[in-house]
Amino acid sequence: MTDPAALRPVTADEWPAFARSMLDVFGEEATGSFVEAPPATAELDRTLTLWDGDRVAATSGVYSRTLTAPGAVVPCAGVTWVTVSPTHRRRGVLTAIMRRQLTELHEQQREPVAALWAAEGGIYGRFGYAPAAVRGSLTGPTQRMAFRPGVDLGTGTVTPVDLDGFRAAAPRVHEALRRWVPGQLERDERWWERILRDPPDQRRGATPRRFVLHTEADGEVTGYAAFRVRARDLDDGDPDGTLLVDEVRGRGTPAYAALWRYLLDLDLVRTLEYPQGAADEPLRHLLADPRALHARPTDGLWLRLVDVDRALAARRYPAPVDLVVEVRDPFCPWNEGRWRWAGHPAGGYCGRTDLDPDLVVDADALAAAYLGGVSLATLQAAGRVAEVSPGAVTLAATALSWPVSPWCPDTF
């Protein structure tokens, strides 16, 4: 097994070797500015590398992020760049990386939760991560997406803008909305810069990214959309273009609906694709024919409770709860044991106790339910939660639920 102590952060001078090794494992071309120097979002002191002589054999990193949890914002370790060279597989390297990351987060009392995007679904469950937010992978024929009668489009206007105009207005809208949706991440200037990068070699035959803003009569910007169009003609010459949506956000129904009406009415477009849209995107409920919008939900953001007590105390709960939960967490033994968990709409509490448990739950199951998107009752049906006190699952599932489904459009 690999000793976690053998891992160390990468230096700025070593970055090109680090980046090339990582991109090679991901099967991506190791060229461009990312290879030449660390991006602005990189935190080199939070990276880990394993060296084999002068060659990088494993990589990982952590971003310092802020995650919206139900009723609160929580510091979150954004785990990224995790690779192990094929030459070092099945030697415990990935386990050592995960153990080192989580142990340092716990011992330094940093972020109470960690999150990642999983390249493969079978890797991270054994380290206590679980899918906690779903992406919708939305598609459909735009010609069938007429709105139902009575949809309020408001009196605002939707206007195309250039990149500078979008960057001046969109961050305020995002910041106003992201605190209401579990799973959302903050975006400072560095993250907006990353999100809006538009290298031609990654457009896959589509146009450069386009932008529109929704503006009220008083000049207030209340929504935005970012998208591309991929043109195509059928053999008979009829247009068959595809609308590729990156993001649509509106502060209220009129702004949201007006933005979508603009997008769906684009000329020469016949198909919508919105890979990162929410699984329960409100667009479906604007349509006269809800079947026109197809969803293929798949896992999005994966979550890990680094410290069960700090994580449960950090969020709020729509219904009062006061239970003893026994947590099973062999990978992070500091979470093992019984916790008195209490919560209400104003906050939460979690502390050690010797009382008999009302519930017994795996750490990854608790992580899955943390953002309110997975019911503890569903997890109980899968054998991931054991009810000791009758009715405890119902109480816990109700308390952990949230009116807004978790959604994270930001990959990292």
Q: Is 34 one of the annotated active-site residues of the chain?
A: no
* Contact yes or no for 114/74 (Cβ under 8 A): no
Buried-exposed string 397-406: b where 16+ CB fall within 10 A, e elsewhere: bbbbbbebbb
Residue 190 is labelled as binding a ligand: no
3-state secondary structure of 177: helix
* Options 18, 211, 370, 412, the catalytic residue: 412
Give the helix/strand (H/E) hosting 227.
strand 221-230
Q: Identify the residue whose tokens are 């394993």.
A: 50
* Contact yes or no for 389/383 (Cβ under 8 A): no
Q: Identify the residue whose tokens are 């939900």.
A: 297
Residue 82 is labelled as binding a ligand: yes
Residue 324 is labelled as binding a ligand: no
Q: How far apart are CA 219 and CA 234, in angstroms?
A: 41
Residue 245 is labelled as binding a ligand: no
Q: How far apart are CA 359 and CA 5, in angstroms?
A: 36
Buried-exposed string 225-236: b where 16+ CB fall within 10 A, e elsewhere: bbbbbbeeeeee
| Residues composing the chain | 412
Residue 93 is labelled as binding a ligand: yes
Q: How far apart are CA 149 and CA 22, in angstroms?
A: 51
Residue 26 burial (10 A CB sphere; 0-12, 13-18, 19+): exposed
* Options 18, 124, 211, 370, the catalytic residue: 124
Q: Is 412 one of the annotated active-site residues of the chain?
A: yes
Q: How far apart are CA 90 and CA 271, in angstroms?
A: 44
* Contact yes or no for 102/332 (Cβ under 8 A): yes
Q: Identify the residue whose tokens are 């595809």.
A: 242
Largest Cα–Cα separation, the chain: 74
DSSP state of 287: B
Pairing of strands 210-215, 157-161: antiparallel
Kindly list the catalytic residues. 124, 412
Known binding positions: 82-84, 90-95
Known binding positions for acetyl-CoA: 82-84, 90-95
